[in-house]
A and B are shown apart, each in its own frame.
Chain A
């Protein structure tokens, strides 16, 4: 069992984490941080007090790099740009590389991985060559910077989401309201390897599981999602109790039988119809024009049982209760003859109902039924029925061709209207909350084994055009850059659009700031 007895285990590859950090950086999730540090010197004369303040401004000019270390601790390398203001107005800049210690977690409410920043340590400080500051000053600046970083990372940017929403809590065909959504609890997290993080949760109040028994099942994919069989049962029970999907259906049908299809019954039919129509008292000429059946059923579906077996075989058991009826009709034309049959007069067309059958409340068991777990088009885990023996105990002595047809029809109605067996809500939601970014999922692995279903998938986010904060117009006569929401940005022809995560890169590439939305960068 690779899911460690939890209902749901989600696993995340560091590649995806890095790409989400880049995405977060481009979308401005790492804002510029400013502050003032006051040198801890007492008894400073009032005339010098302004020289005690050191202003700083920290921004990340590059997306952070994420890594899981060999000791399975997590860290993020950040290259930042710091501006200091000292001595009441003298500014200088430093580039700084620092490492942030991370604590990962799986957010039960959002069903996304996130990391919380816990500790910042400065690895390297690169001052611009022009300053030539002495070592003791640099050490002091390091100290200030550490305080600034610590505040920056721990206060302002406390956590970053690292994944799309890995599963929904909405099940299909459910009434509205939070009470009808899955509840997620007992989040636990384990770093499985230098490549993979795992989060484990339970559903609907269950609290079992052993985090140390979780195994990496991503097979190199970006994301793995494992669902334990006990969790599937819990979800299906919850769904069945509350679903709005019809559990009882009433259906009707009719069928005209072409005469060649029941040629061996035609003579009997003619006899029966005439016997009913004339009570056998007169000779009669008759055209049997049409034979048809009208039938219907009310089917009440009961909850099915399922049991996962190796190699994606699911044993199914259960029954339906059915009321079934069938009326058979024949249309005949009788002809009255006079003058010894030389002239035909007075044609009568009549409809006779030789068979009227019904049966109520019969229980039909699904015997030897099996299916397979599949991901449907809405990315939900459901069971597809593959095989079943359906026993229909009919006591209708009606012609074989009608019996055959109605039995087939009834079986089709049972299969067609069988409520889905919902095992798990949609995996990997296709939008990222709070953004215009969409997610495309390619499922590369679906392994169903006795205790669990394991899914592994790769994830592609929509292109930079869906989230970059700056849009440039590369047409040579324009070469302007706009904020994403600028009305002039919307007018740029698609072929001329170029997207930037950072304004500085656009300016460095020769784009002029838009006079409307970026006037401070507009050079006329």
Chain B
């Protein structure tokens, strides 16, 4: 059985995800709470009703946007405490991750990663 994390996520804390095709509907949700209930019951239908065409282009666009924001989140997290994320420091610095492998007489393998920037 896995541990769980229960959380309430307020839409305000996700405003950093721009989702450009949804800017208008997002503004409307803030002004009309019933729209949020409508989204809960029929997400895609409500989007269409609000003039958002949910097609491949839309999906590609929002995927690109969430990926970009997640990537930005990760960079910000690393920039705050780079010493805690040495591998990401190397990846973001376009350096390869160097793993030193040592195999002892009994075949046991010890792997250490280079953490210098």
Q: Which of A250-291 contact B (CB under 8 A)?
A: 256, 258-260, 264, 266-272, 274-276, 278-290
Complex: how many Å from CA A22 to CA B91? 70
> Which A384-399 residues sit within 8 Å CB-CB of chain B?
384-399
Given contacts A271-B9, A280-B19, A281-B26, contact A287 B84 (CB under 8 A): no
**A274-B9, A388-B101 known; A289+B92 contact, CB < 8 A:** no
Q: Does A404 contact B (CB under 8 A)?
A: yes
A263 vs B19: C-alpha distance when bound (angstroms): 27
**Closest beta carbon of chain A to B26's beta carbon, Å:** 6
Q: Which of B39, B66, B74 contacts A282 (CB 8 A)?
A: B39
> By the criterion CB–CB under 8 Å, are A387 and B101 in contact?
yes
> Which of chain A's residues have a CB closer than 8 A to the CB of B114?
389
A387 cross-chain contacts in B, Cβ below 8 A:
100-103
Binds B, one of A66-74, A200-208, A406-414: A406-414
| A392 partner residues in chain B, CB cutoff 8 A | 96-99
Are B13 and A271 in contact, with the CB atoms below 8 A? yes
A269, B13: Cα distance in complex, Å:
13
Residues of B near A285 (CB, < 8 A) are 6-9
Residues in B neighbouring A260, C-beta threshold 8 A: 3
**In the assembled complex, which residues on chain A have CB atoms less than 8 Å from the CB atom of B113?**
404, 407
Contacting pair B36 A393 (CB below 8 A): no
How far is it, in angstroms, between the C-alpha of A499 and the C-alpha of B103 when the chains are bound? 49
How many Å from the CB of B88 to the closest CB on chain A?
Answer: 5
Measured in the bound complex, the distance between the Cα atoms of B3 and A411 in whole Å is: 29
Would B101 and A272 count as touching, CB distance under 8 A? no
Are A281 and B39 neighbours in the complex by a CB distance under 8 Å? yes
Is there an interface contact between A385 and B91, defined as CB atoms closer than 8 Å? Answer: no
The distance from the CB of B35 to the nearest CB of chain A, in whole angstroms, is 9
Given the complex, which residues of B lie within 8 Å of A155, measured CB to CB?
A: none
Query: Considering the complex, which residues of chain B in the window 57-98 have a beta carbon less than 8 Å from any beta carbon of chain A?
Result: 62, 66, 69-71, 73-75, 77, 84-88, 91-92, 94, 96-98
Would B14 and A274 count as touching, CB distance under 8 A? yes
A: interface residue count bin: 35 or more
In the complex, the answer to whether A258 meets B2 with C-beta atoms within 8 Å is yes
Nearest Cβ on chain A to B22's Cβ, whole angstroms: 6
Across the interface, do A281 and B6 meet the contact criterion of CB distance under 8 Å?
no
**In this assembly, does A415 line the interface, its C-beta being within 8 Å of a C-beta of chain B?**
yes
A288 with B39, Cβ < 8 A, contacts A270-B9, A282-B29, A389-B100 known: no
Please give the distance in Å from A331's CB to the nearest CB on chain B.
9
User: Cβ of B3 and Cβ of A394 under 8 Å apart?
Assistant: no
CA distance A338 to B17 in the complex (A): 27
How many whole Å from B46's CB to the nearest CB in chain A? 9
From A266, A336, A355, A408, give the contact of B5 (CB < 8 A): A266
The reply to whether the CB of A487 lies closer than 8 angstroms to some CB of chain B is: no
**In the complex, chain A residues whose CB is within 8 Å of the CB of B13:** 271
Q: Closest Cβ of chain A: how far from B2's Cβ, in Å?
A: 5
In the assembled complex, the Cα of A424 lies from the Cα of B102 at a distance in Å of 25
> In the assembly, what is the distance between CA of A282 and CA of B6, in Å?
17
Partner of B36, one of A268, A283, A388, A403: A283
From A264, A395, A399, contact of B94 by CB (8 A): A395
User: Could you write out 5 A-B pairs with CB less than 8 Å apart?
Assistant: A278-B9, A278-B39, A281-B25, A395-B94, A397-B75
Measuring CB to CB, which residues of chain B are less than 8 angstroms from any residue of chain A? 2-11, 13-15, 17, 19, 22, 25-26, 29, 36, 39-40, 43, 62, 66, 69-71, 73-75, 77, 84-88, 91-92, 94, 96-103, 109, 111, 113-114
Q: Which residues of A contact B (CB under 8 A)?
A: 256, 258-260, 264, 266-272, 274-276, 278-290, 336, 354-355, 384-400, 403-404, 407-408, 411-412, 415
Given A282-B36, A284-B9, 17 other A-B contacts at CB below 8 A? A264-B84, A270-B7, A272-B70, A272-B73, A279-B17, A281-B29, A281-B39, A283-B10, A283-B36, A288-B4, A336-B40, A388-B101, A389-B99, A391-B96, A397-B71, A407-B99, A412-B111
